């Protein structure tokens, strides 16, 4: 038991150190997989020996369902609100009042972003987190200790020589990137997304089941002191923030010091200029007298301190009217509905359009033309409709809505191809993948890539210019381009960009690049069926599947005429991929582009179907990961397939074995997790040598 107790203590120490380095120092030293392994080991020890679970154990972050409502918590020191300023003049008046009262012409202030989350108070006794509460009405909040324990940024034990008692005030918030990722996963599963990061943070802390809170990507920054005992804080607020960091409490990295009104306004401008780039939402900045003795001298008025001020930005949410609902077609064919709005100023930007994401989101919101809606703009995110003001919906005298619910189109508004939404998919998509102008650039980039048609020199920028200046409509148009076309395109692009080279101004036109590109395009005319299938860009048809399809059917015509039942006979082609392949070739526009490729002289080797039934690896699925020193992964894959194996790009329970080279990553980790057999390179080479043909 002594060794087990030592190991449990060491695990807690390692996990706490990892949290401190990640959340406070922003300098993580261990990978997530290592962190998870440490946590699992500690959980196993504490399950076997419950007496070893300490009050500050990180395993308590997992959460459980509460037995009832939240208990009230009386704040030993009130959590007061701040006075607001919305103009430069109000800030100058605030500083002038303090200067007059203190007799100091240029007082020093601690400055910080005003986080848009939920204010909370953390109580530590002898360094151990014992209780956490919401602000509530300032005097009494709600006990949300169990939920706060699930937030990794909040230390369960303070570092160093902790006070006998300290209450730390701060903000629980949801980082922007984590919020967007959470909502993307929610939409993919058909769940209701969170309205915005602030609502997400507040709603997460008020869950009676802390397991739900634990699933939410919450973080925390400390910014103020509450009650204290047995400890002397630094004489300045900026010093207290450093003491927080020393205790292992995360503090916003964008805090600062400013002197006088000019310093405060300069800070406001700096943070405002960076607002869209910050990793968290803010709705202003906060100014606090830095010296604690000066704070005490200034005192309070009503429910707010005289020594602090919140300087607010313009609101990021506004109400406007939906004038129309259109759809946009993305570069991958996804159909996105967009609300056309009566112009409204949101956070200093005039907004006329807002995304509605997808059909499910529209159905949840029930957005209709003519509705009054709340629109939000945060950071670089496209403005979105948050909710509908149903009381203001236009209606007939009998209360019937004037406008019907919105329905997604059945044909692409850009190219006229069918729009389909597959079972289990959130997005509806245009099926005219090779033909649709909205998908043109993406199709061309993929078509020309090294593992597809391998057209060297045809990069993204060149494709952008060829498409935007009208030289390419489909991938087949590549094969009708001439030297004059390329030179004319370059001349027009240079004139558009104002970057005409001096040599061109002098009448000398460089053409070698264009001739090299023409030669590369010409060289791609002769290729293989598997490369063509991969180059077509059919969803979920990667190199491995393209190779399997080519061998199974032998010819493109045979594949194009196959129905879903026949496609399901292909090894490792499931119902979803079979449906996508059949849908792609059913679309007349895609077949038309393939006919144009043939007419342009693009040819590929075809032959009888090759359905291997021999070899030591028949029926085996193999995954290659990491770098091999003895041969390329492509060659290793070819040799494994020659022995009957199916080489896959992902690890699953059906994987027979994984070959792991140097710097193998997540695929190796998943193989170990699933108990899949792992070969090193030496074993692979030995096996191939023994079965060399």
Q: Count up the domains in the chain and report the number.
A: 5
CATH number of the domain within which 370 lies: 2.40.50.140
Residues 179 and 211 in one domain: yes
Burial 273-282 (b: 16+ CB within 10 A, else e): eebeebebbb
Looking at residue 586, its pLDDT comes to 92
Same domain, yes or no: 30 and 105: no
Of 20-24, 327-331, 386-390, 399-403, least confident by mean pLDDT is 20-24
- Separation of alpha carbons 56 and 52, rounded Å: 11
Per-residue confidence (pLDDT) for residue 504, from 0 to 100: 56
Same domain, 591 and 493: yes
- Rounded CA-CA distance 189/166 in Å is 42
Which of 22-31, 141-150, 508-517, 571-580 holds the top average pLDDT? 141-150
Q: What is the DSSP letter of 309?
A: E
291 and 348 fall within a common domain: no
Give whichever of 51-60, 106-115, 628-637 has the largest mean pLDDT. 106-115
Question: What CA–CA distance (Å, rounded) separates 101 from 179?
Answer: 44
The dihedral over CA atoms of 266, 271, 276, 280, expressed in degrees to the nearest 10, equals -170
Q: Within this chain, do residues 334 and 260 fall inside the same structural domain, yes or no? A: no
Alpha-carbon torsion, ordered 565, 569, 575, 579, to 10 deg: -60
The secondary structure of residue 605, as a DSSP letter, is E
- Average pLDDT estimate for 572-584: 86
What pLDDT digit, counting tens, does each position of 227-263 carry?
Answer: 999 899 999 999 999 999 999 999 999 999 999 999 9
Show the tokens assigned to 359: 């059909």
Q: Please enumerate in sequence order all residues whose Cβ is within 8 A of that of 416, keeping only pairs 6 or more positions apart, or say none.
A: 432, 589
CA distance 63 to 61: 6
For residue 41, what are its two tokens? 């080991």
| Both tokens assigned to 395 | 């209606």
**Phi and psi torsions of 52, nearest 5°:** -90, -5
Q: State whether 101 and 236 are in the same domain.
A: yes
The answer to whether residue 411 is domain-embedded is no
The per-residue pLDDT for range 404-454, each reduced to its tens digit, is 999 999 999 988 999 998 877 788 999 888 888 888 888 899 999 988 999
pLDDT of residue 378: 55
Q: Which long-range contacts (CB under 8 A, 24 or more apart) does 417-426 make?
A: 417/587, 417/589, 418/587, 419/335, 420/583, 421/359, 422/576, 422/579, 422/580, 424/576, 426/187, 426/188, 426/190, 426/358, 426/360
If asked whether residues 34 and 101 sit together in one domain, one would say no
Q: CATH number for the domain including 159?
A: 3.30.470.30
pLDDT band with cut points at 50, 70 and 90 for residue 33: low
Please identify which residue in the block is written with the tokens 């489909």.
474
Q: What percent of the chain has pLDDT over 90?
A: 45
Q: What tokens were used for 374? A: 């709340």
Return the pLDDT at 516.
Answer: 93
**667-676: b (≥16 Cβ within 10 Å) or e:** bbebbeeeeb
Q: Report whether pLDDT(689) > 90.
A: no
Whole-number Å distance between alpha carbons of 3 and 11: 12
How far are the Cα atoms of 175, 186, 374, 485 from residue 196, in angstroms, in the given order?
A: 11, 13, 12, 49
- pLDDT (0 to 100) of residue 632: 76
Contact 510, 503 (CB under 8 A): yes
Q: State residue 122's pLDDT score.
A: 97
Any idea what the CATH number is for the domain that residue 9 is in?
1.10.287.610
Is there a domain that residue 9 lies in? yes
Residue 416 resides in a domain: no
Is the same domain home to 301 and 241?
A: yes
Residue 655's SS3 state is coil
Residues 358 and 437 in one domain: no
pLDDT band at 66 (very low <50, low <70, confident <90, very high): very low
Please report whether residue 420 resides in a domain.
Answer: no
d(CA 309, CA 267): 14
pLDDT at 206: 82
Average pLDDT over residues 270-296: 93
- Rounded to an integer, what distance in angstroms lies between the CA atom of residue 13 and that of residue 157? 10
pLDDT at 88 over 90: yes
Helix H or strand E encompassing 205: helix 197-205
Select from 183, 165, 164, 166 the least CA-distant residue to 174: 183
What's the rounded Cα separation, in Å, for the pair 524 and 226? 71
Predicted confidence (pLDDT) per residue in 595-645, tens digit:
999 999 999 988 887 765 678 888 888 988 888 887 877 778 878 887 888
Return the H-helix or E-strand segment holding 10.
helix 2-23
Question: 655-675 pLDDT, tens per residue?
Answer: 999 999 887 878 888 888 889
Asked if residue 515 belongs to a domain, the reply is yes
pLDDT at 264: 97
pLDDT at 67: 47
Q: The dihedral of CA 331, 334, 335, 338: what is its sign?
A: negative
Domain that holds residue 194: 84-312
Query: Above 80 in pLDDT, residue 499?
Result: no
Q: Which residue, of 610, 635, 668, is where some domain finishes?
A: 610
Q: What does the H/E/C string look like for 421-460?
A: CCCCCCCEEECCCCCCHHHHHHHHHHHHCCCCCCCCCCCH
Give the confidence band of 505 by pLDDT, cuts at 50, 70, 90.
low
Could you tell me which residue, 186 or 486, shows the higher pLDDT? 486
Residues 358 and 442 in one domain: no
| Dihedral sign of CA atoms 165, 171, 173, 176 in order | negative
Of 367, 392, 417, the one marking the end of a domain is 392
In the numeric block, which tokens belong to residue 361?
Answer: 């989101």
Tell me the average pLDDT across 469-490.
93
Angle between helices 575-586 and 588-599 (to 10 degrees): 70
Kindly list the catalytic residues: 114
Based on the fold, state whether residues 50 and 148 are members of the same structural domain: no
Sign of CA dihedral 114, 120, 123, 128: negative
pLDDT at 626: 86
> Distance between CA 44 and CA 34 in Å, rounded?
16
Domain annotation covers residue 601: yes
Residue 680 has pLDDT above 70, yes or no: yes
Torsion of CA 540, 544, 548, 554, to 10 degrees: 90
pLDDT in tens, 365-390: 899 999 999 888 754 456 888 889 88
Rounded Cα–Cα distance for residues 312 and 308 (Å): 13
Q: Could you write out the DSSP letters of every residue in 207-242? A: -SBHHHHHTS--EEEEEEEEEEES----SBHHHHHH
Residues 495, 545, single domain; the answer is yes
Q: Which tokens belong to 573? A: 């082609």
- The pLDDT, as a whole number, for residue 690 is 86
Distant-in-sequence, close-in-space partners of 692: CB < 8 Å, separation ≥ 6: none
Q: What are phi and psi of 581, to 5 degrees?
A: -65, -45
Mean pLDDT of the chain: 87
The whole-number average pLDDT for the span 82-109 is 93
Ranges 314-318, 446-450, 532-536: which has the least confidence: 314-318
Please check whether residue 536 lies inside any domain of the structure.
yes
Mean pLDDT of 84-97: 92
Q: Which residue has the tokens 């995954």?
A: 623
* Comparison of pLDDT for 53 and 502, the residue scoring more: 53
Question: Is residue 31 predicted with pLDDT exceeding 80?
Answer: no
282-to-135, 272, 347 alpha-carbon distances in Å: 18, 9, 11
Helix%, strand%, coil% for the chain, nearest 5? 40, 20, 40
How do strand 646-648 and strand 621-625 relate by DSSP bridges?
A: parallel
Which of 312, 337, 370 is the C-terminal boundary of a domain?
A: 312
692 pLDDT exceeds 80?
A: no
Q: Is residue 684 part of a domain?
A: yes
The residue among 541 and 332 whose pLDDT is bigger is: 541
């Amino acid at each position: 038991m002594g060794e087990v107790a030592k190991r449990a203590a060491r695990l807690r120490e390692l996990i706490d150190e990892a949290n401190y380095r990640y959340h406070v120092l922003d300098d993580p030293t261990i990978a997530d997989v290592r962190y998870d392994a440490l946590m699992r080991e500690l959980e196993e020890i504490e399950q076997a020996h419950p007496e070893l679970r300490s009050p500050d154990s990180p395993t308590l972050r997992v959460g459980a369902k509460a037995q009832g409502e939240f208990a009230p918590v009386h704040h030993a020191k009130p959590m007061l609100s701040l006075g607001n300023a919305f103009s430069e003049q109000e800030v100058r008046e605030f500083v002038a009042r303090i200067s007059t009262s203190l007799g100091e012409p240029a007082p020093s202030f601690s400055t910080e972003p005003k986080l848009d989350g939920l204010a909370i108070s953390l109580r530590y006794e002898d360094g151990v987190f014992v209780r956490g509460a919401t602000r509530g009405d300032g005097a009494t909040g709600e006990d949300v200790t169990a939920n706060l324990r699930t937030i990794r940024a909040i230390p369960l034990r303070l570092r160093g020589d902790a006070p006998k008692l300290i209450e730390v005030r701060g903000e629980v918030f949801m980082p922007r990137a984590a919020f967007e990722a959470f909502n993307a996963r929610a939409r993919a599963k058909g769940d209701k997304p969170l309205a915005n990061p602030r609502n997400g943070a507040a709603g997460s802390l008020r869950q009676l089941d802390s397991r739900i809170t634990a699933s939410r990507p919450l973080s925390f920054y400390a910014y103020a002191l509450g009650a204290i005992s047995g400890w002397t804080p630094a004489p300045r607020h900026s010093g207290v923030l450093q003491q927080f960091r020393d205790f292992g409490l995360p503090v916003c990295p964008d805090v600062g010091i400013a002197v006088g009104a000019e310093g405060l306004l300069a800070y406001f401008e700096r943070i405002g200029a960076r607002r869209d780039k910050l990793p968290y939402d803010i709705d202003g900045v906060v100014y606090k007298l830095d010296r604690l003795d000066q704070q005490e001298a200034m005192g309070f008025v009503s429910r707010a301190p005289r020594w602090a001020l919140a300087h607010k930005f313009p609101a990021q949410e506004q109400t406007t009217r939906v004038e129309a609902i259109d759809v946009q077609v993305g570069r991958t064919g996804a159909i996105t509905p967009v609300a056309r709005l009566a112009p409204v100023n949101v956070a200093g930007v005039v907004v006329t359009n807002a995304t509605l994401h997808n059909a499910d989101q529209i159905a949840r919101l029930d957005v209709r033309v003519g509705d009054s809606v709340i629109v939000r703009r945060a950071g670089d995110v496209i403005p979105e409709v948050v909710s509908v003001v149903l009381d203001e919906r236009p209606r007939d005298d009998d209360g019937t809505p004037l406008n019907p619910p919105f329905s997604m189109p059945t044909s692409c508004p850009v190219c006229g191809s069918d729009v389909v939404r597959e079972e289990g998919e959130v997005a509806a998509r245009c099926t005219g993948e090779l033909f649709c102008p909205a998908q043109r650039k993406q199709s061309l980039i993929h078509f020309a890539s090294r593992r597809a048609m391998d057209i060297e020199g045809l990069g993204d920028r060149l494709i952008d210019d060829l498409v935007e200046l009208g030289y390419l409509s489909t991938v087949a148009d590549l094969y009708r381009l001439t030297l004059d076309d390329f030179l004319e395109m370059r001349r027009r692009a240079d004139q558009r960009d104002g970057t005409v080279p001096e040599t061109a101004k002098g009448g000398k036109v460089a053409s070698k690049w264009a001739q090299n590109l023409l030669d590369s395009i010409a060289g791609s005319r002769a290729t293989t069926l598997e490369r063509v299938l991969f180059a077509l860009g059919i969803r979920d048809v990667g190199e491995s599947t393209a190779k399997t399809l080519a061998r199974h059917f032998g010819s493109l015509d045979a594949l194009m005429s196959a129905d879903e039942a026949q496609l399901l006979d292909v090894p490792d082609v499931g119902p979803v991929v079979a449906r996508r392949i059949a849908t792609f070739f059913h679309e007349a526009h895609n077949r038309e582009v393939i006919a144009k490729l043939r007419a342009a002289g693009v040819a590929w080797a075809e032959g009888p179907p090759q359905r291997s039934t021999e070899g030591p690896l028949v029926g085996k699925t193999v995954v290659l990961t990491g770098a091999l020193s003895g041969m390329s992964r492509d060659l290793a894959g070819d040799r494994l397939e020659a022995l009957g194996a199916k080489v896959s790009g992902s690890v699953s329970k059906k994987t027979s074995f994984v070959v792991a080279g140097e710097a193998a990553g997540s695929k190796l980790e998943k193989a170990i997790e699933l108990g899949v057999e792992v070969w090193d390179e030496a074993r692979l080479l030995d096996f191939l040598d023994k079965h060399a043909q």
